[in-house]
Amino acid sequence: MVSRAESKTGRYLMVKGRRRMRQSFRQEFRDEVRALRVDAGRLGTHYARHAGLWLMFGILWWCGFLLLLVSLGATFVAALEATLEITFGITAPMAAVRTALGLTASQVSGGAQFAGSIGWTVIIAFTLLIPALVALMLERLPNLVVTVRGLMDPEVWDFFSRYSTVLGTYLNTVARSSATQPPTKEALRETRADAVATIAELVTYWYRDEVTLNANASFMRLLPGDQSSMPDTKPLYGNGAIASATPLVLELTDWAFPSPDLPEHLVLNVDQSKPRPGAPFAVLERKVDGIANALDRSEWRGRGLNDRETDEAINYFRSVPFRSFLSIPVLDEANRSDPALGALSIQVDRPNVFVIGKADTDDLVALIQRLCYFLAWLERMERDGNNAGATIVANDTH
């Protein structure tokens, strides 16, 4: 008979043995997991370092499956359609193979079954393509940037640098528009001034191969006359009346490059029955407008101005270094039925540079119009506050 002490010892040894077995199993399991992690890490490192090889492998595997279907009797077009459907998960591999080969479920051969099985690996191979492509792009991005930088002259590079800065400021302004501390009106004005300056630089760059220009740009806000910040100013084309007595005016807010020979305060009368050329016509008709030669009386008279109005316009342009200009309406694209918010005008110191209908002028306008929504957003933010600006952004996403 087994004594009580021996029985206890046996149970103790049995429990201890089981415990050791469990501990050993757990340790082996941890070692396997650790090994898998190490192998996965090595695989990921290899993938990142040799993304081109993985990309080539994925493409070759994809093409190999396509050729397999062709070798089984599918037409090239049918094989291509089946491969694309499998790649993008549109159709299950076996069903796509049957369709490509024109087989029913009962007619599936061993080769078709094999192709259906391989079809699942095509999906896996495709998942390797996009990360490998991204990895390759990231790997070569510094060289690409250096190469592009080398192709650009300092003027072009400076323009893109400034343009990127303005876009970054814009995104930051948009992000802060819904924050607890929205951008101040002063910050919005500074951002708008930077945007207008960028547009003027773009104009200079645009014509750099044809002529050396001194370009400027300005933004004018459309307001009822009794809301003008310069109520006692006599608007241009205003028949001597002061701004506060004028139904609708355009009021200067920014020059891209202020200088002593440019007016610090400028107001234009907007006659809704007979809008004058330039910014007044642009905001009322919601069309781009301009004058090719600002000192050419016949051009002003051809636009319907009488002698007095023509003299007034030419006298103004003789006092500033502009000889050709364009005005682009600044519209709130989120509320297209609303009146224009103002006008962006671009000016150069040479005549006959801007001619509406001329290819280079129209292409330039199309480029600048993309930036006018930014100006509209800033203007709406400054006028109506943070909530209105946020509404514009929200409406624009739908």
Encode the chain (398 residues) as per-residue pLDDT tens digits: 545 544 555 555 565 556 666 666 666 666 655 655 555 455 555 555 555 666 677 778 878 888 888 888 888 888 888 888 887 767 788 888 888 888 877 777 788 888 888 888 777 766 666 665 665 555 555 555 555 555 556 666 666 666 666 666 666 666 555 555 667 788 888 888 888 988 898 888 888 877 788 899 999 999 998 888 888 888 888 777 787 788 899 999 999 999 999 998 899 989 888 899 999 999 999 999 999 999 999 999 999 999 988 999 999 999 999 999 999 999 987 777 888 999 999 999 999 999 999 988 998 898 888 788 888 888 888 887 644 433 333 334 33
The predicted structure's pLDDT at residue 49 = 58
In angstroms, rounded to a whole number, what is the distance separating the alpha carbons of residues 11 and 396? 76
- Predicted local confidence at residue 396, as pLDDT: 40
Q: Which pLDDT score, from 0 to 100, does residue 8 have? A: 52
Q: Report the pLDDT value the prediction gives residue 2, as an integer from 0 to 100.
A: 44
Cα torsion for 163, 164, 165, 168, to the nearest 10°? 130
Reported CATH class of domain 155-396: alpha beta
Joined together, the tokens standing for residue 140 give 């070569």
Global pTM value: 0.57
Q: What is the DSSP letter of 236?
A: B
Residue 392's pLDDT is what? 35
Check residue 352 and give left, alpha or beta (phi > 0: left; psi -120 to 50: alpha).
left
Distance CA 287, CA 262 (A): 26
Reported in sequence order, the residue ranges of 127-243 that DSSP labels E, i.e. its strands, are 215-224
Q: DSSP letter at 105?
A: G
What pLDDT sits at residue 47? 52
Helices (H), 177-278: 185-206
User: Would you list the domain boundaries of the chain?
Assistant: 50-145, 155-396
